[in-house]
Homo-oligomer: A and B are copies of this chain.
Amino acid sequence: MTYQKKINLSTKGLTDIIDLTSRVADILTESKIQNGVVIIFITGSTASITTLEYEPNLVKDFQEFIERLIPRDKKYHHDATWGDDNGFSHLRASFLGPCLSIPISKGKMSLGTWQQIILCDFDNHSRKRQVIVKIIGE
């Protein structure tokens, strides 16, 4: 049995980090699937999905770390291709990846208490985003 819903949302870009956990949990409840796996996937090449304890200080650490790792104010060859100055956004997204798979047991995701599902929008401007939540199971 499979079930799919899309989460539509607006982001501010520049490593905007959004907690998706309760929205994914609601879709899981709605699906009535008790046992299986949920795949969370972001369509697009400048955003990622991962897990993080969603508290403001750690979110700030995450943003500072990614800025140090792949700085925005560096020259990227990609910026010469389309002129949209978001080479750094693509690299960040590619590195963190677009997908996450979480087991489901007794109708619940196997997340820890401090383990939230996050969307990271690395683009350099606000965006409309669509996250795919696909559930496979029984």
Contact = CB atoms under 8 A, between A and B. Distances in A.
Nearest to A69: B69
A44 B110 CA distance: 9
Interface residues of A, number: 53
7 contacts: A36-B136, A41-B101, A45-B53, A45-B115, A50-B94, A57-B77, A61-B76
Contacts of A103: 4, 39, 41, 132, 134
A112 B96 CA distance: 16
A1 B87 CA distance: 39
A124 interface: no
A99 to B, nearest CB: 5
Interface in A39-92: 39, 41, 43-45, 50-53, 55, 57-58, 60-62, 65, 69-70, 76-78, 80-81, 87, 90-91
A133 to B, nearest CB: 8
